[in-house]
Amino acid sequence: MSDEAVKNNLDEVAPSDTQSQEEAVVTKSKEEPRGKLYCYNWLDGISDSSNYDVVEVQFKNTRKGFYKNSQHIDLHIGDMVAVEASPGHDIGQVTMVGKLVALQMRKANLHPDYEIKRVFRKARQSDLEKYEEAKSREHDTMIRSRKIAEELQLNMKIGDVEYQGDCGKAIFYYIADERVDFRKLIRVLADTFKVRIEMKQIGARQEAGRIGGIGPCGRPLCCSSWMTNFVSVGTSAARFQDISMNPQKLAGQCAKLKCCLNFEVDVYMESSKKMPSKDTVLETQDGSYYYFKADILKREITYSTDKQMPVNCVTIDAGRAFEIISLNNKGVKVEKLQRDGQVKEQRKEFVEIVGQDNINRFDKAKKKKKKGKSSKSEAAPKQQPPKGNAEKNEAKEVPTANKQKNDLADGGRQKRRPKRGHSRNGESQKRNNDTEKTQ
């Protein structure tokens, strides 16, 4: 903003005793409309409406138009104006003035024989009241028109309705996959709402821009908040940025490719020009290294000894890669890809401690504690042997160890336990013999 523009702002806004001049300029700038589908006027303070007689006027959501200021009205960004329409007049908001409008017209590819309509006047209070009345009728009209289209069995979806500023015409925006014969629909709508009907077909992106919503990033959709026009998006933008080619992740709310794929693609394309070619092979004394992957923003490249899979991968910076390429062109093979004294970074491996990444951690059944002796044995504290008997305990453990060694020496054969029935018979026979001896 120039010094003259700041001075004019200070003259228009009379600051009170408690408000400084700087705060007055801030409050003036906040009143200017900024946000939804507005273009920033880079020539503000350099050119105004007197330098160019055409202004840009925006209506509801994405509809814009260029109108000739034949009466040379002093217009500024944010002014509500009454413009020529067919029939009657329409109410819109000025979004751009000055020589920047000529650039916008050239960008819109308008033909030389394009008919530019006129700006009548600044909107009066009566015009604004009628304009607000027309806006209040739009939602009910859309609901009723959808029911009418459903009754006529038309394969179309009416996404939005826009009334003209003087309530003389209504524009119905619809979406359809195929050609629809809506001549009968127009007659029914005209008889129902008593206005002139105009049908406009829009795409999925235009519908998302008109309706709005929340994107996967958690913020309002760009097309409904600040974008000025729709640019074609291709899958090449995702390839340049090394984004996974997953259709579900690349698609937005409109089921088309996300517009934000184009936001950073120019940076990636410019950075990729400073990287070596993917077809370049680096020759070393140990063998050849082939391009595997690259981090364009870090300017780091990973090379592998195999063309198809990562084998003996080495990551170097782009400067080192160009240095090796120049040496290979001279017929010199380097000893290794990394520079001398360069320490190889160790990758930190993830160690699972708690088992949080196991997807079956909730499927494991909890073990039930056994009741009875096990619970009692767990509850009772273990008694430690007295210090005096420690030597005896050690002496008792020695023969057991020797016994195990003897069993292993015998070939690891274990004595078969007697069967349950035989042991009982033997015990009973022994008892009978003892009773006979006593008698």
Report whether pLDDT(386) > 60: no
Residues 57 and 96: beta-carbon distance below 8 Å: no
Nearest to 290 by CA among 276, 273, 303: 303
Q: Give 81-102 pLDDT, tens digit per residue.
A: 999 988 888 999 888 888 888 8
pLDDT tens-place string over residues 179-219: 888 889 999 999 999 999 999 888 888 888 777 888 888 88
What proportion of the chain, given as a percentage, has pLDDT over 70? 65
Give the separation between CA 317 and CA 340, rounded to whole angstroms: 14
The DSSP line for 271-295 is: HHTTS--TT--EEBSS-EEEEEEEE
Alpha helices in 98-194, H assignment, sequence order: 100-107, 125-136, 138-151, 183-193
| End-to-end Cα distance, the chain | 131
What is the average pLDDT score of the chain? 75
Question: Tell me: the pLDDT tens digits for 216-254?
Answer: 888 888 887 777 677 888 888 888 888 888 888 888 888
Instruction: Give me the residues paired with residue 290 across strands.
Output: 304
DSSP states of 64-100:
EEEEE-TT-----TT-EEEEE-SSSEEEEEEEE-STH
Dist. CA 217–CA 205, nearest whole Å: 17
Domain boundaries, the chain: 1-29, 54-123, 135-208, 210-271, 274-329
The secondary element (H helix, E strand) that includes residue 398 is: helix 390-409
CB-facing half-sphere around the CA of 81: CA atoms within 13 A: 30
pLDDT value of position 357: 54
pLDDT at 24 over 50: no
SS3 category, 157: strand
Copy the structure tokens of residue 92: 């819109």
- Model confidence at 21: pLDDT above 70: no
DSSP H or E stretch at residue 122: strand 117-122
Give me the mean pLDDT over the 346-368 stretch.
54
The residue among 180, 187, 162 whose CA lies nearest residue 172 is 162
pLDDT at residue 314 is higher than 50: yes
Q: How many residues does the chain have?
A: 439
Q: Identify the pLDDT of residue 336.
A: 86
CA 126/CA 6 separation, integer angstroms: 33
Task: Say what the pLDDT of residue 244 is.
Answer: 83
Looking from the CA of 215 toward its CB, the CA atoms found within 13 Å total: 20
The predicted pLDDT at position 431 comes to 58
Encoding tokens for residue 105? 């017209």
Do 39 and 101 touch, CB atoms closer than 8 A? no
Q: What percent of the chain has pLDDT over 90?
A: 19
Mean pLDDT for 299-323 is 90
- Name the nearest CA neighbour of 95 among 31, 41, 29: 41
pLDDT of residue 196: 92
**Adjacent-strand bridge partners of 91:** 82
Question: Which of 97, 110, 109 lies closest to 68, judged by CA?
Answer: 97
Q: CB–CB of 290/304 below 8 Å?
A: yes
Mean pLDDT (whole number) for 402-427: 49
Query: How many other CB atoms are found less than 10 A from the CB of residue 289?
Result: 25
Among candidate residues 101, 120, 99, the one with its CA nearest the CA of residue 47: 99
Q: What SS3 class is residue 327?
A: helix
Specify the fold of 135-208. Answer: GMP Synthetase; Chain A, domain 3 (3.30.300)
**Do 57 and 89 touch, CB atoms closer than 8 A?**
no
